Structure 1
């Protein structure tokens, strides 16, 4: 295999697919590699850990067709170290040789025959706008769990609703929900559970495209964005029944400027250490934020806000609270509460499609 391409283009391709490369050794050592396959002027780079697969096509000046597997991280580091300009790559029995200007590297390769055979996801493709999907994913993915011991909570539920597509995540302490009206991606009443890790990779790439092609099979999903395809296994299991968690009546309503609230929370959380929550004191006079950590210090800040309901003091995990405020669209957010112990809901005026629920922290 021989080809020539620009350093920056090759580096970008290695960085994109390398995020799917596995990190385990032993008999799965080949999964730490990136598979290179040249056909004419088309170079396909693929990496997988069997759960997530990323493939990118790159147009190069092809010289001799072939394939090879090289350690993803090392190949990326080598190409990154090169000066900008043309890079020549050649593969023979001794390994892969990378030359640029006066630099030359020779890397050991792994058996291409040991690399998993990756098939395209079966099923009809649906082309959707990237902007709306990107907004929705940014709003919900942050609330997915990172605890692999409960796999269903690490996924994003995509469910077909009468109005369109609904995305939901929860880690049992908070829940994020976003509707995409009019979007038909799944069959009637169908739902799938997509790993949040895969969708985080989709988020990285959606900002550079206008459309994305989506496919769902019984056990897999794929997202094609120009020259990149992200494939992932769907999570098996039942997503928690979340509808009953959303309060139907919340008498207290706090309306506050979103940016001012976010900045205040960021400042006050500096004193919310060692799992200390942030306290919100809501009354007709406005909003007071505070946090106290013993032997560290205390922070307090007053924020202009409109409050309707009975005076209430409620506390939240500062990171979860900040995530909800940052995910909300628009210039204002509304915090709906019942009391200091029941779930609170962050909404955005004029954006009924968004909802972020979080559990309060019990305080003395």
Structure 2
């Protein structure tokens, strides 16, 4: 029987698990996935969970405390000892086998293969993505991970099709972030207030996020945003990094320059609990719009009813948009200033 994320948490014994992902790097999407997962584990009553986390000093910035022990992802020996000690390995979300695949993904996939067939551990891939846009290394890594898994829950049709060629225990579900509205969010109201203070939304507000792209894509997207800022000085505009400044210093210098240049522009770096952005978007949904390419920013907009420009830079975003909206996806290389301004003009009219 193939199982969804809800099935896994309801039916599987997840005590004595190691949760592995690219958490702790300060990426909005990864930190959002971890916060959702820790809520799900706590709700299920899982008492024994070890969380791998890069840069442990960042944890309190992005997360509430659930009492689960953490180990530094960079400490390979500690990670291996945790795997040996525990019964399950849970890969918690993300398009790991996609455009951004690297040697770390290959090492992780190889470790899963070893853990399943040598150490006899149970392996769960939850809410994961495997895309045709990946490299040869990505396909090899996905084969290793797919063969290792007791259950795979794919987050879209393309991932389902790809993993089904490797493993028959594959189910189609949605990204883990879609579990967010079903969680108890009262403890996060103060996080939302803090974010609202850092980035007050006054009247019609355009939320623009930057991303570290390949050089030619970065130059094109930045040019469109610069023109957008110059042409829309009647709007409150928040330009946000979805990472902290130390991860993207170039982006931080750029948004700081824009804030000095335009009185209507405010800047924001990702130094808050990711659930706060969900509540912030929900609070301002009637007077806010998003221009941003990040997968999990788009999901946050979808969940809260915030209109967004459907920009795609990878198959994972394309798959998301195909399943979630009737809007025609716009490849980032085709994005024009006319498209951006038409979207903003529609937003200005609809928000009146």
Question: TM range, normalised to the smaller chain?
Answer: under 0.3
Q: TM-score, normalised by structure 2?
A: 0.24
Q: TM-score, normalised by structure 1?
A: 0.23
- Higher relative contact order structure (alpha carbons within 8 Å, sequence separation ≥ 6): 2
Greater percentage in helix? 2
